[in-house]
């Protein structure tokens, strides 16, 4: 949208941004939604299991072609490589570790040598989902959670489950098996699908039509003049840069919530994403928790709430496996694994590794302060029966609020590198690296300096 006065902006907002964004969003995913619903209805017919597997494989292949065309072959090759590895190493007890290394090598080689970076990055989400599914299955086989290597059709049905193959989220092999039972349609299922879809569209609209214009129009901090005006930047300096960074961060956050709620929609629509309570099904799949991110208690809460299924995957299969070497090592290995799964993007890697240090230092500092003050100031909210003496004192609330404000500063700083200009730089990692360093330099490397200061404080009071 162009530069308008505030009155003109709100007059043009509906047909200039809101309606086109919602229409484009529906046009891109309506076929995926239809295929998910068809698979759900087909599974209710009491067909043999192999027919159900074949149906979701066919649906997964078709949706992959819709989104990636012939480039989908690289996703197929990854799935074939994973099954070949599982079959050849079916008597091993280290399948999870070895398959993880194999998958990461494939992803790195694919990005560096197999095809151009732009098209590879378009498939990054699907590649991640396939990788996480295969790795989790390998670890579950090692741990006896899954009793035997599934048949090729069953494995491919899990990998190409139409509800998760494009937007995710990661689901376990046993969750996929449960979804094949073809539970009857219900009002709670329809309500869950509808609510998740509406939330996804609201988040898409906020990301595209609200966040980029937050301070010039919706919250006119500087009157009617745009922050992006060069003259305004020179006049306002640092405050304007932080407000611009917050706009970028908010837009990035809500684009993630859009994908999260959309993945809830497709997964639930296809018949997965439920828990069983006695004889009742509870359609309770949750991918993101926006309130825990926009109004955080701690960075630990943010990284967990960003993508709950992926957080569960990393905690179960990476963090717990590395915890024997120490908490700091386990945290850094987990964030490194996450960075490698996301691909060789400098800004993603820099943000994730920075998050690792920030999360660890915040955790140990608050843990130490909780001991010194005997107060509920831990990264995670204490249980009602905790042994801390000071729980609801005013100064306890002030400490927690101060850490919340600090987390919001970190999020604004880290999120400043995710703006629309990055999409045009993905062919050149040097440009992305320069963009990231420039953005953080404009904000005086504040988050990194604050994290270093917190570490110094922690060492002083240790």
pLDDT of residue 235: 41
How high is the pLDDT of residue 327? 87
Residue-wise pLDDT for 288-338, tens only, equals 999 999 999 999 999 999 999 999 999 999 999 898 888 899 999 999 999
pLDDT of residue 207: 94
pLDDT digits (tens, 9 = 90+) for 236-267: 567 888 988 999 999 999 999 999 999 999 99
Answer yes or no: are the C-beta atoms of 245 and 439 closer than 8 Å: yes
What is the model's pLDDT at position 15?
A: 85
Catalytic residues: 342
pTM of this structure: 0.92
Which of these ranges, 221-230, 238-247, 438-447, has the smallest mean pLDDT?
221-230
Q: Of all residues in the chain, what percent carry a pLDDT higher than 90? A: 66
Tokens at 37, concatenated: 């619903």
pLDDT at residue 430 tops 70: no
* Mean pLDDT within 209-223: 81
pLDDT tens, residue by residue, 108-143:
888 877 777 778 888 889 999 999 999 999 999 999
pLDDT at 231: 45
Higher pLDDT, 221 or 381: 381
More confident residue, 223 or 85: 85
Q: What is the pLDDT of residues 341-390, one digit of tens each?
A: 887 788 888 999 999 999 999 999 999 999 999 999 999 998 888 889 99
Q: Contact at 8 Å (CB) between 361 and 458?
A: yes
Q: How confident is the model at residue 285 (pLDDT cuts 50, 70, 90)?
A: very high
pLDDT tens digits, 195-207: 999 999 999 999 9
């Amino acid at each position: 949208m162009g530069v308008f006065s505030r009155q003109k902006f709100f007059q043009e907002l509906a047909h200039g941004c809101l309606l086109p964004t919602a229409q484009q969003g529906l046009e891109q995913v309506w076929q995926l939604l239809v295929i998910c619903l068809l698979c759900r209805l087909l599974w209710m017919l009491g067909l043999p299991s192999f027919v159900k597997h074949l149906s979701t494989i066919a649906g997964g292949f078709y949706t992959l072609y819709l989104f990636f065309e012939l480039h989908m072959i690289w996703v197929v090759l990854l799935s074939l490589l994973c099954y070949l590895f599982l079959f050849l190493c079916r008597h091993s007890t280290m399948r999870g570790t070895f398959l993880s290394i194999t998958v990461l090598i494939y992803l790195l080689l694919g990005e560096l040598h197999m095809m151009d970076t732009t098209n590879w990055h378009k498939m990054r989400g699907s590649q991640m989902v396939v990788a996480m599914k295969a790795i989790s299955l390998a670890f579950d086989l090692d741990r006896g959670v899954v009793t035997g290597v599934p048949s090729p059709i069953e494995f491919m049905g899990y990998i190409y489950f139409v509800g998760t193959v494009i937007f995710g989220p990661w689901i376990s092999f046993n969750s996929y098996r449960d979804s094949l039972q073809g539970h009857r349609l219900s009002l709670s299922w329809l309500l869950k699908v509808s609510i998740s879809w509406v939330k996804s569209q609201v988040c898409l609209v906020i990301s595209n039509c609200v966040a980029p214009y937050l301070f010039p129009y919706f919250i006119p901090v500087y009157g009617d003049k745009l922050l992006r005006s060069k003259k305004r930047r020179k006049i306002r300096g640092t405050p304007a840069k932080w407000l611009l960074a917050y706009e970028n961060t908010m837009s990035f956050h809500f684009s993630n919530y859009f994908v999260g709620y959309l993945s809830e929609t497709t997964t639930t629509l296809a018949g997965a994403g439920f828990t069983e309570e006695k004889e009742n099904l509870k359609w309770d799949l949750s991918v993101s928790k926006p309130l825990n991110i926009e109004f955080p208690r701690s960075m630990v809460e943010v990284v967990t709430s960003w993508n709950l299924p992926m957080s569960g995957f990393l905690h179960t299969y990476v963090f717990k496996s590395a915890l024997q070497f120490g908490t700091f090592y386990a945290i850094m290995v987990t964030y490194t694994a996450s960075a490698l799964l996301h691909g060789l993007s400098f800004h993603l890697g820099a943000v994730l590794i920075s998050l690792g240090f920030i999360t660890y230092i915040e955790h140990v500092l608050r843990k130490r302060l909780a001991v010194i003050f005997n107060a509920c100031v831990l990264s995670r909210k204490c249980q009602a029966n905790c042994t801390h003496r000071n729980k609801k004192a005013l100064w306890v609330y002030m400490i927690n609020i101060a850490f919340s404000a600090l987390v919001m500063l970190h999020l604004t700083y880290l999120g400043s590198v995710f703006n629309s200009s990055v999409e045009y730089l993905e062919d050149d990692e040097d440009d992305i690296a320069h963009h990231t360093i420039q953005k953080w330099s404009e904000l005086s490397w504040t988050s990194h300096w604050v994290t270093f200061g917190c570490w110094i404080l922690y060492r002083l009071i240790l």
